[in-house]
Structure 1
Amino acid sequence: MTAHATRPAPSRRTLLRAGGALGTVVLSAAAGALPAQAVGPRTRVYVLVVDGCRPDEVTPTLTPTLDALRRGGTWFPAARSLPVMETIPNHVMMMTGVRPDRSGVPANSVLDRGEGVVRDLDRPSDLRHPTLLERLAASGRTTGTVLSKRYLYGIFGTRATYRWEPEPLVPVTEHAPDAFTTDALVTMVDTVDPDLVFTNLGDVDRVGHGDLTGSTTLAAARTAALASTDARVGRFVTFLRESGRWESSVLVVLADHSMDWSVPTRVVSLAPVLGADPMLAGRVEVAQNGGADLLYWTGADRERAAAIARIRALAAAVPGVLETRLPAELRLGPEAGDVVAYCRAGWRFSDPQVVSNPIPGNHGHPASEPIPFLLAGGSPLVASGAVRSDPARTVDVAPTVGAVFGLPAPRGGYDGTSRL
């Protein structure tokens, strides 16, 4: 068996520089990481997340590469994101195979009780469960992350053997364009050839947050973003074929969530409603996540049960609210607060004020659950031309990848299921 790099101390790293199509690509490598192995028959896995893509957008005319991968591999038309929250927890589930109550990551934004502020979960310490990245490294394999969003790079930290820090970052969206992300992906595979690479392509999501409900210009922008991202995926597939890696590769291609759009008048703001109630005023905090609000009771514990009942009753009466749930019902863990509220399709949350969230395109609620999910590649592990009714989920990625490499389940088992 060919030797592979093992995981070194996370505080040490080496910078590798390689020429990409768009300029020099800088990779961070764990200290002691071995150089690339010769191209050969060993199995490689590439998880490609087309962030924010809807399953109905995978078509022969709009996204011909994704459609060809779907037709040539295994397609899961009933796939959904789970739970219906945000970008960070779904990416975490892909790499852990466990739900947020075990990983500690229930949403993008939460109330940090220790700091007393609402903040993004984007620190490596926020993720408490081991991921495929370090578990595969411990088994003698190498891993890589090519993540287009600043906060995704932040939460996965130094867990991978090789890492690309997203650059250049687009102002406001804080993501690297897909042209640079795929350039880094090809360069990483070409130069250091990890056994597993985890990639997020962010353009479709970032464009998707624009208003498609009344602007033909922005609708055209989303179409252009889908076509462009599809072409970037096509470039990577062509690279795998031309470099001799395709026949030993498994591609897991999916979205972390899809997208729903609202008109300016369909906004739900719960903070003013809860703040006007004598029992709740000054004792409820709201972490807004687009299609979902996490509501936290900060008053006395002895009043918690009554407060939760009051929060749910008031929230349910607000136009645009679909339902309220307890975090435990969704396996979200204590970080998700005391009540989770979802908005209806065509609506969005905006808290703490009505003007806080001006973005028409949102996700995190049931309307944005359906996602594309497919397995592709030339490996004999991939069934060709198959359509399966299995209810594939984002949490199924880790057990699927683990099965490819014969990796045992983590302590406590997976919450997902292998889809091989």
Structure 2
Amino acid sequence: MTTVGDATAAGRVIVLDVVGLQQDHLGNGNTPNITALLEGGTSADLRPPMPAVTVPAQTTLATGRSPASHGDVANGEYDRETGKVAFWERDRADRTRLWEAASEAGLTTGALFFQHLIGTTADVAVTPSPIEDEDNNLLEMNCWTNPDGFYDDLEAEYSHFPLHHYWGPGANERGSEWILTAARETIERYDPDLLWIYVPHLDYDGQRYGPGTPEFKNALETVDRLVGEFLDFLREDSRWDATAVNIVSEYGFHSVDTPIFPNRALRDAGLLSVDNTDDHGDEVNVPQSRAFAMVDHQVAHVYVEPDALPAARRALKNLDGIASVLETEGKERHNIDHPNAGDLVLIAEPAAWFQYYWWTVEENAPAYATDMDIHSKPGYDPCELFFGDSGLASLDPSKVRGSHGRVDDESLPLYGLGGPAAPELQVTEPVDARAVAPTVSELLGIDLSSTLAFDVPALISQNSTVK
């Protein structure tokens, strides 16, 4: 094993983002392959950013910065000038993440299926980019890739990426299996020094059934088998002896039974504007609203006209399931004090989560409510994981049994480091998610701190110890 701090500590770094994985999933018989990889290395709790949801967590892991700095405060974005809400629609924009900075430093890099990969300068990238009509109906499956033509090759060999098994009522292991197949092809064709891979399988049954259920344990076994097959592939590769494997997760799950409807409360208070249409149900009119809640799992950003703040507080404070309402000081304390954040930020109790509905009678639901339509809905909708009675997606929030977003000791995800080129670390406290990017940078033997302006230092020290 090479020495810690040596610039040759790892010739190659693989990062597997096994979303939903926690430290107590190791050694229980459900994850023998992941457990074996980390037995001779490092495993610890990971403290994610608040909110612990996909985009803020991914951006923090890949930049070493908090949402207060990088500005990704939710899976969606609210434009205060236009009053428009957009979920999952950002491209690379001005982001510089670890794989882009490392590529600029001369390494070969790859990133597979992270959010906002379109336009990345990573040498290898694959991310879904289906061709849709103006109503968001799928016309043709496609992926955006670097280099051009890589998806065509993958599709010819392995068929199209199974989008309907990646999200929605049919979500299952096929999406993760295809991603890991693409990862093997990436290694065989392009041999990257850094490869960052998103493995989403646990997310589905974590939300459908909640943690600790037989269904979730089955999902653990499935994802461990898929990761194990990928690790076996790596062990046969000529660079295995120079490889360090990071296992990271973005969040753990809470068991939930209480949906919260902040937009209904704002509507009842006369703060949320709704247009009643015969053909399209009750459509929220965000630009005309004095307050609107952009919900995202267990966190909701409430955007409020200044003169409506007292009324919004009154409307929301007594809702069952809300643990806290953050304003200026609270947002600063949670490192989410960025202009993109809501004027009020709601955090749910552990057993509760936020649903975007503003109607109370199903017949008044907008047309997209029963569709699997992640771009039209102005809030995250886990009911899309269930078939509905009158459409593809359910309108029954009571079906959702797991959620995430709040940060507490019960739901901390995993950080692990293993493989033949991984240094030995003694970690006694939860790892700050912001430490992952500088740690990967140091494993690669490159200094990216000036490019990425890390908030915290790497885990690796000269004494190989983190206290």
Q: TM-score, normalised by structure 2?
A: 0.71
The C-alpha deviation readout for 1:158-210, integer Å capped at 9, x for no partner, is: 23110123512125716762111111111111221111111110111122111
Gap change, CA 1:160 and 1:211, over 3 Å in 2: same
Gap change, CA 1:408 and 1:41, over 3 Å in 2: closer
The aligned amino acid for 1:268 is I
Task: Show the counterpart of 2:86.
Answer: 119
Task: Show the counterpart of 2:224.
Answer: 230
Q: Percent identity?
A: 24
Structure 1 residue 80: Cα displacement: 1.9
CA contact (8 A) 1:96 1:130 kept: yes
Paired with 2:321 and 2:100, the residues of 1 have a C-alpha distance of: 42
Secondary structure of residue in 2 paired with 1:140: coil
Corresponding pairs, count: 360
Structure 1 residue 311: Cα displacement: 3.2
CA contact (8 A) 2:53 2:404 kept: yes
Q: What 5-or-longer segments of structure 2 have no aligned partner? A: 1-7, 129-160, 274-288, 363-380, 384-396, 461-467
Paired with 2:314 and 2:23, the residues of 1 have a C-alpha distance of: 34
Task: Show the counterpart of 2:454.
Answer: 414
The aligned amino acid for 1:163 is A
Q: Give the 5 Å matches for 1:346-357.
A: 346-353=351-358
CA contact (8 A) 2:50 2:407 kept: no
The aligned amino acid for 2:47 is R
Structure 1 residue 138: Cα displacement: 1.1
CA contact (8 A) 1:250 1:377 kept: yes
CA contact (8 A) 2:31 2:220 kept: yes
Paired with 1:337 and 1:41, the residues of 2 have a C-alpha distance of: 43
CA contact (8 A) 1:107 1:121 kept: no
Structure 1 residue 211: Cα displacement: 2.7
Task: Show the counterpart of 2:252.
Answer: 258
Q: Give the 5 Å matches for 1:262-301.
A: 262-263=256-257, 266-277=258-269, 282-297=289-304, 299=305, 301=306
The C-alpha deviation readout for 1:392-418, integer Å capped at 9, x for no partner, is: 122221111111222230357311331
Structure 1 residue 293: Cα displacement: 0.6
Secondary structure of residue in 1 paired with 2:198: strand
Gap change, CA 1:360 and 1:178, over 3 Å in 2: same
CA contact (8 A) 1:286 1:352 kept: no
Task: Show the counterpart of 1:160.
Answer: 122
Gap change, CA 1:122 and 1:407, over 3 Å in 2: farther
Gap change, CA 1:348 and 1:225, over 3 Å in 2: same
The aligned amino acid for 1:331 is N
Task: Show the counterpart of 2:439.
Answer: 400
1:338 aligned to which of 343, 348, 363: 343
Q: TM-score, normalised by structure 1?
A: 0.78
CA contact (8 A) 1:105 1:121 kept: no
Gap change, CA 1:269 and 1:392, over 3 Å in 2: same
2:418 aligned to which of 350, 353, 376: 376
Structure 1 residue 57: Cα displacement: 1.8
Task: Show the counterpart of 2:376.
Answer: none
2:103 aligned to which of 112, 130, 137: 137
Deviates more, 1:365-374 or 1:344-353: 365-374
2:187 aligned to which of 186, 189, 208: 189
Task: Show the counterpart of 1:32.
Answer: none
The C-alpha deviation readout for 1:273-304, integer Å capped at 9, x for no partner, is: 2233357773001111011111001x3x4x3x
The aligned amino acid for 2:405 is G
CA contact (8 A) 1:258 1:370 kept: yes
The aligned amino acid for 1:80 is R
Structure 1 residue 246: Cα displacement: 2.3
Paired with 2:119 and 2:206, the residues of 1 have a C-alpha distance of: 27
Matched, 1:247 2:241: yes
CA contact (8 A) 1:108 1:121 kept: yes
Task: Show the counterpart of 1:81.
Answer: 48
Deviates more, 1:244-253 or 1:193-202: 244-253
Secondary structure of residue in 1 paired with 2:196: strand
Paired with 2:127 and 2:42, the residues of 1 have a C-alpha distance of: 31
Secondary structure of residue in 1 paired with 2:51: coil
CA contact (8 A) 1:178 1:203 kept: yes
The aligned amino acid for 1:249 is T
Structure 1 residue 366: Cα displacement: 2.8
Task: Show the counterpart of 1:66.
Answer: 34
Secondary structure of residue in 1 paired with 2:423: coil
Paired with 2:242 and 2:252, the residues of 1 have a C-alpha distance of: 30
Structure 1 residue 156: Cα displacement: 5.4
Structure 1 residue 364: Cα displacement: 0.9
CA contact (8 A) 1:316 1:322 kept: no
Gap change, CA 1:189 and 1:296, over 3 Å in 2: same
Secondary structure of residue in 2 paired with 1:182: helix
